[in-house]
Amino acid sequence: MEVDCQNKSRDENRKDIVVILVGAPGSGKSTFCEDVMRTAHRPWVRICQDTIANGKAGTKSQCLKSAADALRNGKSVFIDRCNLEREQRSDFVKLGGPQVDVHAVVLDLPAKLCISRSVKRSGHEGNLQGGKAAAVVNRMLQKKELPKLGEGFSRITFCQNEGDVQNVVNTYSALGPSDTLPSGCFGQKNPDAKIQLGIMKFLKKVDAPDTVGPDVQTCVSKQDTSEKLPSQKETENVKLSSCKASEVTEGGDFPRKASDVPTLAFPSISTSDFQFNHEKASDIIVEKVKGFLDEVGNVRLVLVDLSHGSKILSLVRNKAAQKNIDSNKFFTVVGDITRLYTGAGLRCNVIANAANWRLKPGGGGVNAAIFSAAGPDLEIATKDRAGSISPGSAVVVPLPSTSPLYKREGVTHVIHVLGPNMNPQRPNCLGNDYIKGCKILSEAYSSLFEGFASIVRNQTKTVVSDKKFRSTSSELHENLLERSLTDHYNIDQKVKRGGNYGSESNKKCKGLREEPLVHMMSELDEKAILSVSTDTMEKEGLEHDKVGGNKVWGTWAQALYHIAMHPEKHKNDLIEISDDVVVLNDLYPKAQKHLLVLARLDGLDRLADVQKEHLSLLRTMHSVGIKWAKKFLSDDASLIFRLGYHSAPSMRQLHLHVISQDFNSIHLKNKKHWNSFNTAFFRDSVDVIEEIDEHGKATLNDERMLSMELRCHRCRSAHPNIPRLKSHISNCQANFPITLLQNDRLVIAPNGAVNEA
């Protein structure tokens, strides 16, 4: 939201400032504001959500309105909220404009200090004090997303201690009415530098000043799954006492920057609890690794084991050397697979888990360690993908950015793999049937590497397609690299039947599909293809899209494309057909009224493909959507509609959602369903048209927004689950957020009304 400054009687060169404070409870945000305002040389207004409603807690919408009013009156503004997540900051960033700079001051003080302050204080405006404060601070810090210039800030200042805070207080206190501050990031510390320094000091001790020999073992500390990022001193003292200098030799090296080469770290499948023969397993590992590396280019594979005397590592190293496998692309590591970066500076963006068939935490070894290190995010994300797994199969699970394993180690994906069992103490033992066992183990590694390849292909395409934009600014370059690491594609699960495993599946996995969905497509006619909605990909756990990558669409994802290209075959299921668009009801509507307006232009798969030349088509789609919304409003004037696109759709063919804002539907079942329509992941049609007209492309927002907490689309209150949220929204009469009340983003009846802030 840009503030109108034309009526201000002031120097045209003067700029007001919006300072968005970012920090946990107890970090000193309110004190910061008071200290600046006490001695300031320019007028400031503090906007605090805890007191916005006549001294009582209010809403984000009220804060936005008060901030906009203050700016119109020629005052600068402090936004005194936690603002720890990007979405929480986004609307306040939009307050900026030609005569308003938006700054962020990040009070990134130690968690212990924030907790201590919060617990001890009394009379707090938001009543966050005493024993309950510690849990709240911890919970909020887990969701912390540090701000970046790419969000729209002109200046970001980071404070890591009270001395930093005082310096920033002095800076803003000294600003005169017409003074400005230079743009950029200031005071940011680089935690990676501490880790790298510690690693380099260790390497010097073993006469390898710049590199670690990847063709032999790198020693890493034992199972330590704490979330704390180690300090320089702690990194230098990582438990390496049992490592000998001879275990780290000169030779090939792995790049210092983790993002340079996509890397998969994996344990030996089935050779631990499942007691698979080490000789036979090592033959299969080396065979599959060589075949994979011969086909795929710039990648690395790392075999990991916790034991220094690991027989499987020794066998694999020797056999890999005999096969002349490039030691820069494949090497072995002794250590904890969940601590490879913080323990030895080796960042692996993908790790494999030797899973159980239930895909659940528990047991021991690698499975327990990975689930523990990744936190509950991994279990939730895994459940979204699959309920179980068959031997020889793999399931790719993207890690949410909130996972400790993602934040601490840079792991963006976990691939669950299940191998054959040769242990008579475990279910479904194959006995001594190594013909079948070797076949299943070979399939397991094939599935694992296929999953990794799908991630690599997407990363490579994303980097290539975005390369031409990298030179525009260092900030954009950083964002593109970050995005390339987090983009993902899910591979079809290979559900196999037969033998003892088939009987186990029948006993314990009732309802599990026994045939891959892709194989069933040959049995479907055109009518069946139509029975796919935009959330079917999520329901079936198949291929899923991310912002910005070039996509190879899965079979089911082609359904809307076939409808748009051949509407004559689906006349009975479409409610409108024209030369430019077709309109149909979403098969799984997320509200009382939910339509899809499909573009009929071949090659226009999603919003990322839209350019200026498509403006006429976008306007046509919008007008068709408006027409249908008004038709529904003529029957029920209480409805309110919103028109928009998903930043990254699950299905091929550009489609516009026309959805009523009651969200009263039995098909709205999970967090992804809700957040796909109620976060910035959903792009309003009017905004898309404006952006394409002005910039030639639309802004696309990250799919990680789908895992954000559930918040009411009107009052923005948080709710723990969908039933509680639905109960709330059925009665909520709060104002819609200011952003939705502008620019005709909401469609209402001619005589209808929307609560306004």
Q: What is the per-residue pLDDT for 361?
A: 87
> Which residues touch 370 (CB under 8 Å, ≥6 apart)?
337, 338, 351, 353, 378, 405, 414
pLDDT band for 214, please (50, 70, 90 cuts): very low
Q: What is the per-residue pLDDT for 425?
A: 83
673 compared with 469, residue with greater pLDDT: 673
Q: Over 60: is that where the pLDDT of 190 sits?
A: no
Q: Look at the block and give the residue holding tokens 């200042």.
A: 157
Reference 641, options 654, 649, 630, 650; nearest CA is 630
3-class SS of residue 351: strand
Pinpoint the residues of the chain covered by CATH 3.30.428.10.
549-747
Name the strands in the sheet holding 350-354, side by side, starting at the edge strand that comes first in the sequence. 330-334, 300-305, 263-267, 350-354, 413-417, 394-398
3-class SS of residue 394: strand
3-class SS of residue 693: helix
Q: What is the pLDDT of residues 713-744, one digit of tens each?
A: 999 999 999 999 999 999 998 988 888 988 88
Q: Is 586 exposed, middle or buried (0-12, 13-18, 19+ CB in 10 A)?
A: buried
Q: Over 50: is that where the pLDDT of 205 sits?
A: no
Any alpha helices (H) in 550-702, and if so which ranges? 559-565, 615-635, 671-678, 685-695
Q: Look at the block and give the residue holding tokens 């499975």.
A: 367
Percent of residues, the chain, with pLDDT higher than 90 = 42
Q: What is the per-residue pLDDT for 127?
A: 64
415 compared with 432, residue with greater pLDDT: 415
Q: Look at the block and give the residue holding tokens 């020797």.
A: 318
39-48, 131-140, 224-233, 597-606: the lowest-pLDDT one: 224-233
Tokens (6 digits) for 62:
């009220």
pLDDT band for 248, please (50, 70, 90 cuts): very low
Domain spanning 549-747: which superfamily? HIT-like (3.30.428.10)
Q: What is the pLDDT of residues 454-478, one digit of tens each?
A: 888 766 554 444 444 443 333 333 3
Q: What is the per-residue pLDDT for 223?
A: 36
pTM of this structure? 0.36
CA distances from 161 to 21, 105, 108, 191, 536 (A): 15, 13, 8, 15, 49
Q: Over 60: is that where the pLDDT of 534 sits?
A: no
Tokens (6 digits) for 312:
């499987």
Q: What is the per-residue pLDDT for 307?
A: 80
Q: What is the pLDDT of residues 321-346, one digit of tens each?
A: 999 898 888 999 888 899 888 876 78
**How wide is the angle at C-alpha 267 spanned by C-alphas 227 and 389, nearest 5°?**
95
Q: What is the per-residue pLDDT for 755?
A: 52
Q: What is the per-residue pLDDT for 12?
A: 55
pLDDT band for 528, please (50, 70, 90 cuts): very low
Q: Over 70: is that where the pLDDT of 754 sits?
A: no
* Active-site residue, from 655, 657, 673, 713: 655
Find the largest Cα–Cα distance for the chain.
89
Tokens (6 digits) for 56:
């009582």
Q: What is the pLDDT of residues 486-518, one digit of tens each?
A: 333 333 333 333 333 333 333 333 333 333 333
Tokens (6 digits) for 704:
């990680």
Mean pLDDT over residues 309-314, rounded? 88
Question: Hey, what CATH class is 16-186 in?
Answer: alpha beta
Q: What is the per-residue pLDDT for 454?
A: 85
Q: What is the rounded (10 degree) CA torsion for 88, 93, 95, 98?
A: 180
pLDDT band for 258, please (50, 70, 90 cuts): very low
Give 292's Cβ-side CA count (13 Å radius).
26
Quote the CA–CA distance of 455 and 413 in Å, as a whole number.
9
Any alpha helices (H) in 356-473, and if so which ranges? 365-374, 376-385, 404-409, 434-466
Contact yes or no for 517/540 (Cβ under 8 A): yes
Q: What is the per-residue pLDDT for 509?
A: 39
Reference 494, options 436, 446, 553; nearest CA is 446
Contact yes or no for 411/302 (Cβ under 8 A): no
Mean pLDDT over residues 213-226, rounded? 36
Q: What is the per-residue pLDDT for 5?
A: 43
Q: Is 655 a catalytic residue?
A: yes
Q: Over 80: is that where the pLDDT of 597 sits?
A: yes
DSSP assignment of 27-68 equals SSHHHHHHHHHHH-SS-EEEEETTTTBTTB---HHHHHHHHH
Q: Over 90: is that where the pLDDT of 294 sits?
A: no
How many Å from the N-terminal Cα to the C-terminal Cα in the chain? 14
Mean pLDDT over residues 392-399, rounded? 91
Q: What is the per-residue pLDDT for 503?
A: 34
Please, what is the average pLDDT of the chain? 77
242 compared with 674, residue with greater pLDDT: 674
Reference 438, options 471, 391, 398, 396; nearest CA is 391
Quote the CA–CA distance of 657 and 645 in Å, as a whole number.
6
Mean pLDDT over residues 352-358, rounded? 90
Q: How far is C-alpha 711 from the chain's CA centre?
A: 18
What is the DSSP pairing of strand 682-684 with strand 641-646? Answer: antiparallel
Quote the CA–CA distance of 217 and 213 in Å, as a whole number.
8
CA distances from 240 to 139, 195, 203, 313 (A): 33, 15, 11, 19
Q: What is the per-residue pLDDT for 183?
A: 84
Tokens (6 digits) for 464:
């290539």
Element (H, E) at 18: strand 16-22
3-class SS of residue 341: helix
Phi, psi (deg, nearest 5) at residue 81: -135, 170
Q: What is the pLDDT of residues 100-139, one digit of tens each?
A: 999 999 999 888 888 888 877 776 666 676 666 777 787 7
Quote the CA–CA distance of 490 and 650 in Å, as a whole number.
11
